[in-house]
Structure 1
Amino acid sequence: METRTILRVTVHDNDIRKITVPVKPQTVDSLLEQLEEKLGLQYKFSLQFADFNNSLVNLTDIADLPDKPTLKIVSIMTTPTSSTADTEILSPETFEIPTFPVDVKYRLRQANLQYMQDQTFLKVSAELKHEILEKLSETMYSFKAYPDKENFEEAAAALIKKHPCLTQPGSSKGWNGWYDSLRWKMGNYRSKLRRAGCLEVSINGGKRRGQQPQRNIKRPKMSGINFLPNFPDGEDETSMESKRKEMVEDMKKLHPNASLIAKNMNSTSVLRRKELIETETVVKDTVERWPALFTEGQVSKYSSVTEHLHRYTEVFESRVYQRIPNISVHRPIR
């Protein structure tokens, strides 16, 4: 009984191979492992196959695999491992007060108990205030390097909600002073990181001893994260530049090495980001320096947003129509 399976695998536009696996895989994961070994791929990927309409669909069930299928390798972009400051953490819907050092935690607990007994507010010393603001700034930075007004208000309100002894009598909301202090402390915290060489805030250094002030502050938009991450551990600009040149030379070949391109594109994302943000490279220069960025394999990684654009437009229009009857919404040209 024939158990082997013959596959036609498209690794890249110019790299199509015939692969024979000795034993028919029983699961998608098993097939992925065999292809990874036979193709020598050094990156994570998923598979697509041509269905009865000859359209590519994701392979999620091995039972859907035809007898002699044509498969396409779709690389999955991974974020390079870097320092803790570069960890991707999404901002929570509600700000959660972090755990303070043991001594601060003890003093706040005692003060909260006193407040519950006779509504006595804590007289915050300069040392205690520094410890509280430092920890809050560190926590806020892990979510967003440049918090907006609402973020500061939310953090200040959450602080006195968890520790009512810190409520400031005489202020309209009870936390107005904490709001002002936290904004000031956050600026100091960014300055400390800037002196340490953190790229995300170094690029926005203000006027310092003859330097020109930054007029165009560069910061994440639309819930962006890792706006300008530091180089991963063990990597620097020189090592990434070497990988970039290696890709440029490989792209000159008739059949570029798809696995090498995908691997190096993932590992050099920090360098590309740095160039685009700091030097604002024009498209022509970007094409020359990063030719692999404009290949189908790389562009397809960002196609999910385009694929869902039509649905986003429909949802937006439905909500607009519900709020404002008889309004005319212009669809984007497709």
Structure 2
Amino acid sequence: MAVQQKFTMRVIVSEGDIRKLTMTKRPDTLEDLTGMLRDTLQANYTFVLQYQDPEFDNELCNLTDLSELPEKPTIKIIPLIELVPVTPQTESCSDTGSQADTDILSNSSLDRSFQWPEIFEIPKFSVDVEYRLRQGNLLYLRDATYLKMTKELKHDILEKLAETMYAFKAYPTKREFEDVAKALVLTHPCLKESGSSSCYDGWKNCLKFKMGNYRTKMRQLGRLDVTVNGGKRGRYSTDRDPPNKGIKKPRKGEINFLPEYPEGKDDHILEEARQVLVTEMMKTKQNASLVMKEMDVTFALRRKEVVKNKPPIDQMLQRWPALFTESQVFCEFNRVVGKGLRENFFDALDRFSPSLMDLFRKKRGLTGQILTDLLHKTKVNEPTHIRCLILRGLPIILGDDPSAFFRNCSDVNENGLYSQTAVGILCMDEENSTQLNPSKVGIILEGSVVMEDLANLPQAFCLLFGLIYALHLDYPKYMKNTFIFVQQVMLDLGRSELTPKIQTLKNQLAL
């Protein structure tokens, strides 16, 4: 029997998102390749493909025939935005695929598209400011003379930097302010400060004040991500809380923490769209295209509810039933964070598995005994079993309490066993409740099973992580270290300082 040859390619989704994908076999037609990419990348939009042609020094060319592709091609995805005039006829056919795709793109409420960059690139300033900086840099290179800073010049520089920073996030961290200040003096050395040990401490402090002023301007313009915190600082607090208490801002790498409503939409229109969603989810067979369109349109309303009001889970189940389906959990995570959860989570899990398994084997004492028992239950030739081992062993090595998180029972109706569980995974197996990968898996939130009959334990953990972002939930205390490790180390989301235990594990894995 002939062995099927895998098909590996480099896919350029955007400038900041370049992936290596491996298919089990080479697609037969261009339509097959497009469908595979759409499913793998969860790309709910129309696109065409280009490839790097070796005959033209790897310049991009439109892909029209798969025979043109080299053995391991580099493919670029080019999104297409269709502008379709809205007429009564097109509105009545809103459940068709092409119209739904158009509405998703034109009505999208996503304001930000990228995470904070690893290396902050200083933007171009106005023509006058760029000219003065260029002259100042030439003088610095010639005789190390610093540019004499005027109030007007400093204001223009800080204003442009604040605008650029706000495009990534409204509340940068201390480290991110430092990154911007450092990038500024590296790009324009004439702006270095002679009285500062780092040469940019003054710029960092000025950026903090300027960013606060910029948020005030945005608040006056009605931007939701900053108006939510209006009157929460100092003696003007509306709730008479102490300063800085209850400030709502991204803490886990969310780029669309509290987005604006789509243009032309208000609470009444979005509420009608939500009711359409609820009605559609009551049907035995839902229109997936319509659900996707309405979920995208109502994203800002949904985020406003979960961030500002923090409703109970049972209320969210009634109001947003589509949010508790596998496809929409992954889509919602992409809306909030700007990157795919499923592929990034499992890629990271598989990448870290060999190092973590070696670390498990080296552990001694009580922790080592528990990890050894888990290793004995693992089928090393089964990828799902290895993933289960890592997810079971990670909380143990980080000092968490997995017994409060992985709840075992033989019947989903035995809710007394997990009614007090705030966040957890329900493992149901009548034969052996201690299996690494039980036959039935569900997700528990606030003592209720919100999703059940999931494929396996790793899939359930991945979906639960997505639901935490979608519902703006806090990590449970008994698994906090594990979730932070997944967030910051595995998925590279957020930039807060790691706790000693997590930092130690990261160092041991030589990451």
Q: How many residues align?
A: 271
Q: In structure 1, what is the Cα distance between the partners aligned to 2:147 and 2:329?
A: 57
Counterpart for residue 219 of structure 1: 249
Counterpart for residue 97 of structure 1: 122
Counterpart for residue 190 of structure 1: 215
Q: Find out whether 1:86 has 2:73 as its counterpart.
A: no
Q: In structure 2, what is the Cα distance between the partners aligned to 1:319 and 1:135?
A: 49
Question: How do 1:111-260 and structure 2 match up within 5 A?
Answer: 111-205=136-230, 206-207=232-233, 209=236, 211-212=238-239, 213=241, 215-260=245-290
1:95 CA drift (Å): 1.4
In 2, are the aligned partners of 1:200 and 1:229 still within 8 Å (CA)?
yes
Evaluate the alpha carbon distance shift between residue 211 and residue 312 of structure 1 in structure 2; reply closer, same or farther with a 3 A threshold: farther
SS in 1 for 2:306: helix
Counterpart for residue 421 of structure 2: none
Structure 1 residues 269-291: Cα deviation after superposition (integer angstroms, max 9, x where no partner) = 11111110010011011011112
Structure 1 residues 82-107: Cα deviation after superposition (integer angstroms, max 9, x where no partner) = 69981312322111111111111111
SS in 1 for 2:116: coil
Structure 1 residues 167-186: Cα deviation after superposition (integer angstroms, max 9, x where no partner) = 11121111111111111111
In 2, are the aligned partners of 1:82 and 1:230 still within 8 Å (CA)?
no
Q: In structure 1, what is the Cα distance between the partners aligned to 2:275 and 2:207?
A: 45
Q: Which letter does structure 1 place at the counterpart of 2:167?
A: S
Q: TM-score, length-normalised on structure 1?
A: 0.69
Structure 1 residues 288-317: Cα deviation after superposition (integer angstroms, max 9, x where no partner) = 111222235434656726655753662662
Q: Which letter does structure 1 place at the counterpart of 2:151?
A: A
SS in 2 for 1:217: coil
Q: In structure 2, what is the Cα distance between the partners aligned to 1:296 and 1:321?
A: 31
Counterpart for residue 314 of structure 2: 284
Structure 1 residues 13-63: Cα deviation after superposition (integer angstroms, max 9, x where no partner) = xxxxxxxxxxxx95435996xxxxxxxxxx659xxxxxxxxxxxxxxx9xx
Q: Find out whether 1:294 has 2:324 as its counterpart.
A: yes
Q: Which letter does structure 2 place at the counterpart of 1:28?
A: E
Q: In structure 2, what is the Cα distance between the partners aligned to 1:31 and 1:93?
A: 31
In 1, are the aligned partners of 2:281 and 2:321 still within 8 Å (CA)?
yes
1:115 CA drift (Å): 2.2
Q: Which letter does structure 1 place at the counterpart of 2:272?
A: S
1:225 CA drift (Å): 1.1
SS in 2 for 1:221: coil
Between 1 and 2, higher relative CO (CA 8 Å, sep ≥ 6) is seen in 1
1:134 CA drift (Å): 0.5
1:257 CA drift (Å): 3.4
In 2, are the aligned partners of 1:81 and 1:233 still within 8 Å (CA)?
no
Q: In structure 2, what is the Cα distance between the partners aligned to 1:224 and 1:95?
A: 18
Evaluate the alpha carbon distance shift between residue 215 and residue 315 of structure 1 in structure 2; reply closer, same or farther with a 3 A threshold: farther
Identity across the alignment (%):
41
Counterpart for residue 268 of structure 1: 298
1:238 CA drift (Å): 1.8
SS in 2 for 1:147: coil
1:235 CA drift (Å): 2.1
1:248 CA drift (Å): 1.8
SS in 1 for 2:275: helix
In 1, are the aligned partners of 2:108 and 2:297 still within 8 Å (CA)?
no
Q: TM-score, length-normalised on structure 2?
A: 0.47
In 1, are the aligned partners of 2:196 and 2:202 still within 8 Å (CA)?
yes
RMSD in angstroms over aligned alpha carbons? 3.6
Structure 1 residues 116-162: Cα deviation after superposition (integer angstroms, max 9, x where no partner) = 23322222111111001111111112122211111111111121122
Q: In structure 1, what is the Cα distance between the partners aligned to 2:170 and 2:229?
A: 11
Q: Find out whether 1:314 has 2:339 as its counterpart.
A: no
Unaligned runs of 5+ in 1: 1-24, 33-42, 46-60, 62-72
In 2, are the aligned partners of 1:89 and 1:142 still within 8 Å (CA)?
no
